[in-house]
Amino acid sequence: MAKPATATITATAGKKSKPSDSYEKNLNTLGDQSKQQTMAGWGYQWQFSDKGNSVGGWVPISDTAKSKYKTNFGEDFTGNMATLALGGKKVVSFAGSAYTGGLESQGYQLQKANSIINSNQSSDFENKENADNPPVRGVPGPGSFEDYMKPYQGILDQFLDNPAPVPPNMVDLFQDKMGEYGIPELEQSVNDLTQQKKDEEALMRERTASEEDKAVSMGVISGRTSEIKRQSYEKLDFIGRQIDYATNQLNTKYAMVNTIMNLTQTDYQNASTEYYNAFNKAMQMITFTRGVVKDYSDEQWRNYTEEQRQKERTEDNARANLSIIYNSITAGNTEWAGMDQATKNQITKLEQEAGLPAGFTEGLHNNNPAQDIISTTSRQESNGDSYADVIMRDHKTGAISVQHIFLGKSKVSGSGGGGGGGNGSGTDVAVGDMTNSQLEADYNLSLDGVKDRIKVSSSDTDAKHDLTREQAADELFKYYQGRKSKASILSDIYETYPDDYRD
């Protein structure tokens, strides 16, 4: 955006004025930097301010308008810089009061406005010995806001009287609008997949029975039926995963609409609209910040397996949904401590889907209570450390910051014992990059890996039993930090290895 120009505004023609620092006005750039069609025709928009008072104008180009505005403002104003109005913003402060107008930002040409205003600077300076406190050029003397605006009230009524429409109650239209968000299609997809699963199961039974009725040896029959079942189970497994994914997305959409409605106390459909707008913005930011990995048309994405793609989609959807809930909370509509348990459970579920530790969102909010989430992405350093990078914006000042939150370390495959078990993948996998199923499998192996080292009694003198349950929890927490809390690990250890474990 162009740097704001500075202009000196003097009093009405014929009255001498003395410019001072208080009359240096900033010409603020508003709206699109282009000429735009408005309800009153083509024109330019400008604004300047002094001592916290903002005054702006929208100037039609027609000769008739030029002549009319010349009459209103005197010869000091040309036809290209005329109508004083509180333009460009819906609320502009003036002399401690607020004027609410409905005119959206129309457009202007900054260079032309600069030229018009600055063309009078020389004469203003030459006439500086009179008029210590002139108001804006063309306005007869300082006075109340009402007196000041009287000559222009007709123009304001014509161009700015555009109140916001009263929002309708969308609950009555909920069923019609549901289709816009794809929920019926997703519901139908779940139904179709469920039917495919039933059909495949019926086909497997039919083919198996057919093979068993054939007059061949039992060994041959057994081999054939085993192959039939293997093929069918592969298909059923794929269909089952598709059902799980579609069902999860459907439940998430339902839950998110209900959550926003509860947080903002809007009606159901308005919450739906707000959610999908915010969700799309969050997804766009996540897509942007992830870079090449999230460019769905690039080679890396094309080479992903369907399971990998679903994992990426699930994580991104969950993170976008988390940012919506988080930003609703920081907006002041609710307090974390006062949230209902269903909302807290929904946040925990989304954290798991996003590959984030339970309590991640609450901890982030406690440390950054005045900031909104723009996007959340994850990365892994060369040393195996995994981090969540959260781009945040202070909703009061607009300042941008990035929080780097440690999620855990990658673990060498085949490791066991105190630091945890192996995930069986044959590769180094960071805890933050594990799917939920991988995490649970890995965690269970880790719990099993410490069983021969657990010391449940102070009287146990076996040298191999070198870890108390608290020490074992400490070791496991070092690895699973970011995905599991120390308290939950300790609870699992006590449940798995109670006091009578070695009795």
365-413 pLDDT, tens digit per residue, is: 888 888 888 888 877 777 777 788 888 888 778 787 888 888 776 543 3
145 vs 125: CA distance, rounded Å: 27
Q: Integer distance in angstroms from the first to the last C-alpha of the chain?
A: 76
* Antiparallel, parallel or unpaired: β 41-50 and 36-38: antiparallel
274 vs 493: CA distance, rounded Å: 44
Going from N- to C-terminal start, the domains of the chain cover 5-159, 184-369, 417-496
Whether the CB-CB separation of 47 and 20 falls below 8 Å is answered with no
168 vs 417: CA distance, rounded Å: 62
400 vs 107: CA distance, rounded Å: 28
230 vs 204: CA distance, rounded Å: 10
Q: Over the stretch 361-374, which tens digit does the pLDDT of each residue have? A: 888 888 888 888 88
Paired tokens of 80: 């290209």
SS (H, E, C) 206-232: HHHHHHHCCCCCHHHHHHHHHHHHHHH
* pLDDT value for 432: 65
* Antiparallel, parallel or unpaired: β 467-468 and 454-455: parallel
469 vs 450: CA distance, rounded Å: 9
Q: Smallest Cα–Cα separation from 9: which of 93, 121, 98?
A: 121
264 vs 346: CA distance, rounded Å: 16
Successive 10-residue mean pLDDT values, the chain, 503 residues: 34 30 31 32 42 45 41 33 32 28 36 58 56 40 46 45 40 53 74 81 79 61 70 81 79 66 54 62 56 44 67 81 83 72 83 82 83 82 78 81 75 36 41 71 79 80 82 83 82 84 73
Paired tokens of 268: 């159901």
Whether the CB-CB separation of 252 and 313 falls below 8 Å is answered with no
* pLDDT value for 288: 52
* pLDDT value for 136: 38
Whether the CB-CB separation of 457 and 499 falls below 8 Å is answered with yes
In the chain, the amino acid numbered 94 is F
**Long-range contact set of residues 420-427: C-beta below 8 Å, sequence gap at least 24:** 420/445, 420/446, 420/449, 420/476, 420/479, 420/480, 421/445, 421/446, 421/448, 421/449
Alpha helices in 265-358 (DSSP H): 268-290, 299-302, 306-328, 341-353
Q: Smallest Cα–Cα separation from 72: which of 118, 131, 140?
A: 140
CA distances from 419 to 424, 429, 472, 473, 476 (A): 15, 14, 9, 10, 6
Q: What is the pTM of this model?
A: 0.33
